A and B are shown apart, each in its own frame.
Chain A
Amino acid sequence: MTTVNLTVNGKPVAAKIDPRTLLVQFLRENLRLTGTHVGCDTSQCGACVVHVDGHAIKACTTLAASCDGASVTTIEGLAHNGELHPMQEAFREHHGLQCGFCTPGMIMTAVDLVQRKGNHLEEHTIREELDGNICRCTGYHNIVKAIAAGAEAMAGQVSAQAAE
């Protein structure tokens, strides 16, 4: 067993875990934060994307132990005081989700994309940057619209990174 100390959605967490525990297992099974999903076993689908120290990573291929000392934000930590994050709101407004299974990973990837590339995103850029996130329901059309609108809406908002 190994000990990890991290901050998850702003709250300190300490746990003794099997060193082979993946971050996604730790979040889902130990912390019961089940919004982060597992859709494949090869790191392709992106349903498990969370932020570690402000950067998007795939929690299915990250050891929880390697995140010792880090700050982790999951989909459950994105909304503040019951208000949806602008990216979440944009996904609702633009019908960027159907079954909802890929959605948490899509949104976490999208927020990271805005942090890296700014608030004015070309659709082509968004499509290229979604290479690591698979959706089988929407054909991506509305996801792309949602991310473009969410990126614009994030301008002037308290950045998600600062909130982390």
Chain B
Amino acid sequence: MHSKIPDRAAAVSAAPMDPRSLRRFEDERFLMGQGRYLDDEAVPEALHATVLRSPHAHATIMSIDAQAARNLPGVKAVYTAADIADLGSLPCSLAVSNQAPLIVPPRPALAEGRVRHVGDLVAFIVAETAELAREACDLIVVDYDILPSVTELATANEPEAPEIWPQAPANLALRYRLGDEAAVAAAIERAAHVVNCRLINNRIVAAALEPRVAIGSFDEAISRYRLLLSGASVHDIRRELATALRVAPERIDVACPDVGGGFGMKNVTYPEYALVLVAAKRLGRPVRWLAERIEDFSSGAHARDNLTKGRLALGAKGRFLALQVETIANLGAYVSSLGPGSATTAPTPAMGGLYDIPAMTMDVRCVFTNTAPIDAYRGAGKPEANYLIERLIDEAAHQLRIDPAVLRKRNFIRKFPYRKPFGAVVDCGSFAANLDRVLVAADRPGFRHRRAQSRQRGLLRGFGIGCFIETARGNPNEDAWLTLRRDGSVDMAIGTQSNGQGHETSFAQVLAVQLGLPVESFRLVQGDTGRVPSGGGHGGARSLHMGGGALVLAARALIEAGRLTAAQLLQATPEAVLFRDGRYEAPGSGEVDLAMVARHHAETTGQPLLSHGSHHNAPITFPNGAQVAEVEVDPETGAVALLRYVAVDDYGTLVNPMLAAGQIHGGLAQGIGQALMEEARYDPDGGQLLSATFMDYAMPRAIDLPDFELSLMELPTKENPLGVKGAGQAGCIGAPQTVVHAILDALRPLGVTHIDMPATPARIWHAIRNARGSSAAGRPR
């Protein structure tokens, strides 16, 4: 189809052939079926738990009759809220405060008196087998008095909306305002053009392929809990559980084996984690809980879900003067671990994208609804911020009849460091060059011809441009501990957590370069509070930026730790010893390698060589890119074919280009999924979750996606010792606007000027019909 496009070969990433693209050490066990995911763990003495969940969006619990369930032979316990009154509320770790402190209502592990979303936890059943637990679950009779519910953002903040928490009038949990309102108002007043938009950022579900799993146990002798889970942030989860259990964090060990994907939703502390621990302590046996997929849909953290009015003021020559942002953001029925950040602190540094905009304001209302709690999902806030500014720019370009690429280039940040109005300082970037490059790679000049060819087949072709800037880091602190043993092997213990990113390989590559040891020497120790003293976990594309930084510092410390021994071996003074390419050297005394120093150190002291690196208070980094999507739309059906996706992205220095490209591919698929098909939908009347399984939640399949054409630029940042910017989240930050712009470009000849995500065939078909002025078609929801 694209054989005539000359630049394609040049744009296709050379990542797999790059000598840095080591194949992954972790792959063999996964390929052989030897991965150790938590449900693979046989714990013969364990009891099995299941959860009775609310079938209603909002209801008063009048009574719970669990007698028949408790009487079933083999059932060890049925807990309701009354039975676990000693368990504290699940805390929120990100209690954002702005105009007033965030309202954090209590979140008991089991609903107390009222259920607030479909899937809310009502009872916890523990039995000898999973089948028995489910049978018992079916025997519990709950008398509900159904209350009016609200799941839609558009009405949640109205005075007459059903009240979810009495302490939150009109369901308002937090008002978050930033920026110079007078400056923005003045800029709008004097602007030559003002462009407005109203955008839905659709609710989506992370849907990691491995559902949540937890196994709790309690060691009576040492009064210590142990939680094994499929999670991505063991130290944060331990801290939050300690609050709920009212014990010191040190009384809880949290550990994760191999984790089958996370994307943010596995950083969250879920009520089930507290419940397996409580049950294990009371019953004196380990208790395991495995979420069914439908439970992950109804009670796992959801994401995005906000409604934004944006306004961009432009000068006569198309220079951006001001951006005004008003958002209503869904928190769900409860405040989740990091949920309040997703629409407030997380998008703040990314607001305005990679453009020089002198004045900006943000006004965000976070509201409660009768839906599953919202929390961080890949990108968290950054996709929303970039989607907004990019959509405004494309609309402005259309209204002002300026080429959207030209309008962007007129407004890119060009001087570094650049301080954005909300304070983020962008250290480097070559945004215009990336955009030029992607337009060549995507053969923009040939598009006119391709569009004509599509038209001959009755199809509408569109070319969409989207840019993005990410703000990567997550938790600003990370530590690493190295243990170099007598046999030359190194344990690298670190507080980041890989759940598919390949840290066993990329971290080993970082250290092999620093220490001059074979890359096979390193063993990753992660995701275990018993073996790693502290850690910031997964999230925010932080692992190479924060964790890699900590590893480099730990490597330097290890070299220092070996210096005295090296000096003894070389019969030189420690000051005279230099370390280079894996060897200590002293002028006139020869050289000795690090492994030999470790061996000698172990022989003389009986101890391995140890070191610790702290990478604390690190600034954020700014991965960025320019991307192009090309689509064909069938005007008869509204179906979209995504023909090409081309990206020219900058993640700073790459450690393993193949793994970085893999991260981008996955992120792009998730962003394209959000743009084209994914949506967690609640019935606006009864509050039922309509997309609760993979049968009705539209997960992108292979056939929905094109081959991705990536070029990875490597402009290093100085904000960490490696020059890396972070690649974990970026794909889904760039893709939504790029795809939607391509669809709008295809549809504009028909008079369509707006489309919301997901741009499903039905929604596109309706948009076309409405634009043609047909009265036969109803408006899409």
Q: Report the stretch among B206-214, B220-228, B388-396, B758-766 that lies at the interface.
A: B206-214
B122 located at the interface, meaning its Cβ lies under 8 Å from any Cβ of chain A in the complex: no
CA distance A100 to B24 in the complex (A): 12
* Count of A interface residues, CB-CB < 8 Å: 54
Q: Report the stretch among B556-564, B599-607, B660-668 that lies at the interface.
A: B660-668
CA distance A39 to B208 in the complex (A): 9
B502 located at the interface, meaning its Cβ lies under 8 Å from any Cβ of chain A in the complex: yes
CA distance A47 to B39 in the complex (A): 14
Q: Are B665 and A74 in contact (CB under 8 A)?
A: no
Which residues of chain B come closer than 8 Å to A126, judged between CB atoms? 702
Q: Report which of A45, A95, A107, A141 forms a contact with B24, defined as CB distance below 8 A.
A: A95
Q: Report which of B32, B260, B659, B668 forms a contact with A84, defined as CB distance below 8 A.
A: B32
A138 located at the interface, meaning its Cβ lies under 8 Å from any Cβ of chain B in the complex: yes
Which residues of chain B come closer than 8 Å to A44, judged between CB atoms? 693-695, 699
Q: Are B500 and A35 in contact (CB under 8 A)?
A: no
Q: Are A74 and B261 in contact (CB under 8 A)?
A: no
CA distance A100 to B208 in the complex (A): 11
Q: Are A98 and B502 in contact (CB under 8 A)?
A: yes
B218, chain A: closest CB distance, angstroms: 25
Restricting to A29-73, which residues have a CB under 8 Å from any CB of B?
A: 32-42, 44-45, 47
Q: Are B294 and A136 in contact (CB under 8 A)?
A: no
Q: Are A141 and B500 in contact (CB under 8 A)?
A: no
Which residues of chain A come closer than 8 Å to B32, judged between CB atoms? 35, 75-76, 78-79, 84, 88
B28 located at the interface, meaning its Cβ lies under 8 Å from any Cβ of chain A in the complex: yes
Q: Are A39 and B294 in contact (CB under 8 A)?
A: no
A96, chain B: closest CB distance, angstroms: 9
CA distance A76 to B40 in the complex (A): 14
B703 located at the interface, meaning its Cβ lies under 8 Å from any Cβ of chain A in the complex: yes
Which residues of chain B come closer than 8 Å to A135, judged between CB atoms? 209, 702
A158 located at the interface, meaning its Cβ lies under 8 Å from any Cβ of chain B in the complex: no
With A35-B32, A97-B31, A99-B499 known as contacts, the answer to whether A134 contacts B703 (CB < 8 A) is: no
B263 located at the interface, meaning its Cβ lies under 8 Å from any Cβ of chain A in the complex: yes
A137 located at the interface, meaning its Cβ lies under 8 Å from any Cβ of chain B in the complex: yes
Which residues of chain A come closer than 8 Å to B703, judged between CB atoms? 127-128, 130-131
What does the 1/0 interface line of A86-125 toward B look like (CB < 8 Å)?
0010011111011111111001000000000000000100
B708 located at the interface, meaning its Cβ lies under 8 Å from any Cβ of chain A in the complex: yes
Q: Are B209 and A99 in contact (CB under 8 A)?
A: yes
Q: Report which of B16, B40, B209 forms a contact with A47, defined as CB distance below 8 A.
A: B209
Q: Are A100 and B500 in contact (CB under 8 A)?
A: yes
Q: Are B23 and A75 in contact (CB under 8 A)?
A: no
Which residues of chain B come closer than 8 Å to A36, judged between CB atoms? 33
Which residues of chain A come closer than 8 Å to B670, judged between CB atoms? 136, 139
Q: Which residue of A lies closest to B41 (CB)?
A: A34
Q: Report which of B35, B701, B705, B708 forms a contact with A134, defined as CB distance below 8 A.
A: B701
Q: Report which of B33, B500, B702 forms a contact with A137, defined as CB distance below 8 A.
A: B500
A140 located at the interface, meaning its Cβ lies under 8 Å from any Cβ of chain B in the complex: yes
A143 located at the interface, meaning its Cβ lies under 8 Å from any Cβ of chain B in the complex: yes
B416 located at the interface, meaning its Cβ lies under 8 Å from any Cβ of chain A in the complex: no
Restricting to B664-701, which residues have a CB under 8 Å from any CB of A?
A: 665-670, 693-695, 699-701
Q: Are A136 and B31 in contact (CB under 8 A)?
A: no
CA distance A47 to B30 in the complex (A): 12
Restricting to B506-538, which residues have a CB under 8 Å from any CB of A?
A: none
Restricting to B215-267, which residues have a CB under 8 Å from any CB of A?
A: 258-261, 263
Which residues of chain A come closer than 8 Å to B708, judged between CB atoms? 139, 141
Q: Report which of B24, B34, B207 forms a contact with A92, defined as CB distance below 8 A.
A: B24
A23 located at the interface, meaning its Cβ lies under 8 Å from any Cβ of chain B in the complex: no
A137, chain B: closest CB distance, angstroms: 5
Which residues of chain A come closer than 8 Å to B403, judged between CB atoms? none
Which residues of chain B come closer than 8 Å to A8, judged between CB atoms? none
Q: Report which of A34, A41, A134 forms a contact with B294, defined as CB distance below 8 A.
A: A41
CA distance A107 to B707 in the complex (A): 20
A89, chain B: closest CB distance, angstroms: 8
With A36-B33, A39-B209, A42-B694 known as contacts, the answer to whether A137 contacts B42 (CB < 8 A) is: no
Q: Report which of A100, A102, A103, A141 forms a contact with B705, defined as CB distance below 8 A.
A: A141
Q: Are A142 and B27 in contact (CB under 8 A)?
A: no
A144 located at the interface, meaning its Cβ lies under 8 Å from any Cβ of chain B in the complex: yes
B712, chain A: closest CB distance, angstroms: 14
Which residues of chain A come closer than 8 Å to B731, judged between CB atoms? 139
CA distance A95 to B28 in the complex (A): 12
A16, chain B: closest CB distance, angstroms: 16
CA distance A41 to B699 in the complex (A): 15
B754 located at the interface, meaning its Cβ lies under 8 Å from any Cβ of chain A in the complex: no
Q: Which residue of A lies closest to B27 (CB)?
A: A92
Q: Report which of A79, A92, A127, A136 forms a contact with B23, defined as CB distance below 8 A.
A: A92
Which residues of chain A come closer than 8 Å to B294, judged between CB atoms? 41
Which residues of chain B come closer than 8 Å to A130, judged between CB atoms? 701-703
B38, chain A: closest CB distance, angstroms: 10
Q: Which residue of A lies closest to B37 (CB)?
A: A101
CA distance A36 to B206 in the complex (A): 22
Q: Report which of B39, B258, B668 forms a contact with A100, defined as CB distance below 8 A.
A: B258
Q: Are A104 and B695 in contact (CB under 8 A)?
A: no
A38, chain B: closest CB distance, angstroms: 8
Q: Which residue of B lies closest to A104 (CB)?
A: B33
CA distance A95 to B292 in the complex (A): 29
CA distance A123 to B37 in the complex (A): 31
Q: Are B28 and A92 in contact (CB under 8 A)?
A: yes
Q: Report which of B29, B207, B211, B662 forms a contact with A98, defined as CB distance below 8 A.
A: B662
CA distance A66 to B665 in the complex (A): 40
Q: Which residue of A lies closest to B710 (CB)?
A: A141
Q: Are B707 and A123 in contact (CB under 8 A)?
A: yes
CA distance A127 to B760 in the complex (A): 20
Q: Which residue of B lies closest to A28 (CB)?
A: B40
Which residues of chain A come closer than 8 Å to B314, judged between CB atoms? none
CA distance A41 to B290 in the complex (A): 12
Which residues of chain A come closer than 8 Å to B29, judged between CB atoms? 100
Q: Are A140 and B33 in contact (CB under 8 A)?
A: no
A105, chain B: closest CB distance, angstroms: 9
Which residues of chain B come closer than 8 Å to A76, judged between CB atoms? 32-34
Which residues of chain B come closer than 8 Å to A40, judged between CB atoms? 293, 693-694
With A84-B31, A103-B31 known as contacts, the answer to whether A142 contacts B694 (CB < 8 A) is: no
CA distance A60 to B493 in the complex (A): 37
Q: A104-B33, A131-B702 are in contact. List 14 more A-B contacts (CB 8 A).
A: A37-B209, A37-B210, A39-B260, A41-B293, A42-B694, A45-B694, A91-B31, A99-B208, A101-B261, A123-B707, A135-B209, A138-B665, A139-B666, A139-B670
5 smallest CB-CB distances across A and B, nearest first, come from A35-B33, A100-B30, A101-B260, A99-B500, A139-B669
Would you give 29 A-B contacts (Cβ < 8 Å), ordered by A? Answer: A35-B32, A37-B210, A38-B39, A39-B209, A39-B210, A39-B211, A39-B260, A41-B292, A44-B694, A44-B695, A88-B31, A94-B16, A95-B659, A98-B666, A99-B208, A99-B499, A100-B27, A100-B31, A100-B258, A102-B209, A103-B35, A134-B694, A135-B209, A136-B209, A136-B670, A136-B699, A139-B665, A139-B668, A139-B700
Which positions in B face A, CB cutoff 8 Å? 16, 23-24, 26-35, 37, 39-40, 42, 206-211, 258-261, 263, 292-294, 499-502, 658-659, 661-662, 665-670, 693-695, 699-703, 705, 707-708, 731
Which positions in A face B, CB cutoff 8 Å? 28, 32-42, 44-45, 47, 74-76, 78-79, 84, 88, 91-95, 97-104, 107, 123, 126-128, 130-131, 133-144
